[in-house]
Amino acid sequence: MRLCFSVSTRVEADFGLVYSLSMKSYTAVVEKCVDTGLYVGHVPGFPGAHSQGDSLDELNHNLKEVIEMLLEDGEPIFDSEFIGTQKVMVSINGQTSRSQT
C-alpha cells in the first residue's frame, strides 16, 4: 500500500499571501491479523507510523492521519529503509524437488 502525498500546489490567500502545499508519499507494509481480521499497517523505519482498520480504505485513512500528526513535529528521522519483499523457498520435510527430463 502506498500512501500518496505527492501533489504539489500553490494557494493564494487573502492579502496576496502565497502558500505552497507540498505532498509526500510513504510505503506502508500491510498484513491482515488472523485473530482479529483487522488490516494492520506500518511505514518501515518511521517511528510511530502504524495503525489498523476494518478495511484497506479505513487503514489508509488511519495511516494518513497518524503520519500527518507525526509530521507536525517535523521531518522524521528514519531508523531503517524499506527495500522490498523477497520470496524464500524452503524444502518441506527435507524433500527437494527434481526437474524431470
Contact 47, 76 (CB under 8 A): yes
Burial (CB count <10 Å: 0-12, 13-18, 19+), residue 43: buried
Q: How many CA atoms lie within 13 A of 1 on its CB side?
A: 25
- HEC string of 52-65 equals EECCHHHHHHHHHH
- As a whole number of angstroms, the distance between CA 31 and CA 11 comes to 37
> What residues does each domain of the chain span?
1-101
Torsion sign across C-alpha atoms 49, 52, 56, 60:
negative
Q: What is the pLDDT of residue 5?
A: 41
Per-residue pLDDT, 96: 60
- CATH classification number, 1-101, choose in 3.30.160, 3.50.50, 2.60.120, 3.40.50: 3.30.160
Mean local confidence (pLDDT), 28-42: 97
Q: Is the pTM of this model over 0.75?
A: no
- For residue 88, is pLDDT > 80? yes
